[in-house]
A = this chain, B = another copy of it.
C-alpha cells in the first residue's frame, strides 16, 4: 500500500482531552493514513472547542487545525464518529464500557484500557511483538455478528517495555521459563492530575495498584500464541504461566519514561552468552518495521553499550518514542541473563502502540 495513493481514513478519539488523548492528537494531526475527524470527551467538555476543553500539557502546541474542532460526547450515535474508519480510545478503565458500545455500533476500536485485555476474543497487541494476533478479530466479529466493527487492545506500558526484548530473546533462544522484573515508572503513567507532587517529590512509592498483576498476566498472552483455527487465545495457558513472571513496580519522580530491570531464564537450561544476547537484541526486526508502518521506529530495540544507559530523560525521544531501549546486558547470578530496558510510556507505552497497530491493520486489510 502506498501512502501517497491511498484514501485518507477518518479517525475519532475517545478521551481526547486526557493524557493519552493528547498524545493521539499530537501523533495523528499530520498522519499519512489518518485524518482527525471526531473528538470525544466527557459531557462536561462536549460542545466546547478542543482548545477550550483541554488542559493541554505537551511541550508542542495544540495543532492549529485541531484547536477549533468541537468536542462531542463519547457516544457512537454522534454522526462524526459513525463516519470514522478507526476510533482510538484513550479512555481509562472506569469508562471502558463505552468502547464496547462503539464496537457494537460496528466501529473499529483500538483501546488503551485494561478492560478487554483478558477477553479470549480480543487481541492484546504490542506492535513490535505480536501484530499477527490481529487475525483473531474475525472470530470476534463472528461471535458478535458484526460485519466491520471489532476491538483491539494494546498492553500496559510496563508490559510493553519488557515484552519487546523478551520476544527477541525467545525467538533466538527458545521459550522463557522465568522472568523477574522491577520497574521504576514515570508519573505520567498515572494520568492527570494523577500523582500528587507531595507524594513523589524526593520520594519513591513502591506500589502501583494492579500493575504487577498486569505485567505477570499480559506477558503470557502477548508471548503466547492464538489457538488453532485463529479462533481466540488459550487463556488457560495465558496465565498464570507458562512463563513465571514476578514483578515489583515502583513510582519514581520521572515525568516520562518507564525503566525496568529484568532477569530471565530460558526453558532450555542453556545460558546464552552476553555477546549472543546483544547480537540478537540488536538484530531484532519487527514485522511492523519491515512492512513500513509509518509510525514504527527504525529500530524496534535500541541497544546501548554505555554502562549507564538507557536513561529516560536522555533516550526516550529517539524515533518519536516508538523504540524500546535496552542496556547493561550481563549474566545473572540467579537466572540466565539480566538487562535494563526503558520506553516512553505515553508513546510506545500507550498512544503510539494503538496507532502502529491501526497502521498494521490498514496495511493488512483489516480496515476498509
Contacts and interface: CB of A to CB of B under 8 A. Distances in A.
Given A207-B328, A263-B246, A192 B196 contact: yes
Interface string A145-171: 000000000000000000000000000
Contact of A180 (B58, B180, B254, B328): B180
Given A311-B204, A333-B244, A197 B60 contact: no
B245 A60 contact: no
Contacts of A335: 180, 246, 334
A257 to B, nearest CB: 8
Contacts of A253: 197, 201-202, 252-254
Interface string A195-213: 1111111111111000000
Contacts of A196: 192-197
The interface centre, meaning the residue of A184, A198, A248 with most chain B CB atoms within 10 A of its CB, is A198
A311 B203 contact: yes
Contacts of A201: 187, 197, 200-202, 253, 255
A252 B240 CA distance: 32
Interface stretch (A32-40, A64-72, A312-320): A312-320
Contacts of A205: 308, 311
Contacts of A60: 317-318
B203 A200 contact: no
A340 interface: yes
Contacts of A310: 206
A65 to B, nearest CB: 17
- Pick the 10 closest A-B CB pairs, nearest first: A193-B196, A182-B182, A246-B333, A248-B261, A203-B313, A207-B308, A246-B334, A206-B340, A197-B197, A195-B197
21 contacts: A57-B314, A184-B204, A187-B201, A193-B198, A195-B197, A195-B198, A197-B253, A200-B201, A202-B254, A203-B311, A203-B313, A204-B257, A204-B259, A204-B312, A206-B261, A207-B308, A207-B328, A244-B333, A245-B333, A250-B261, A255-B313
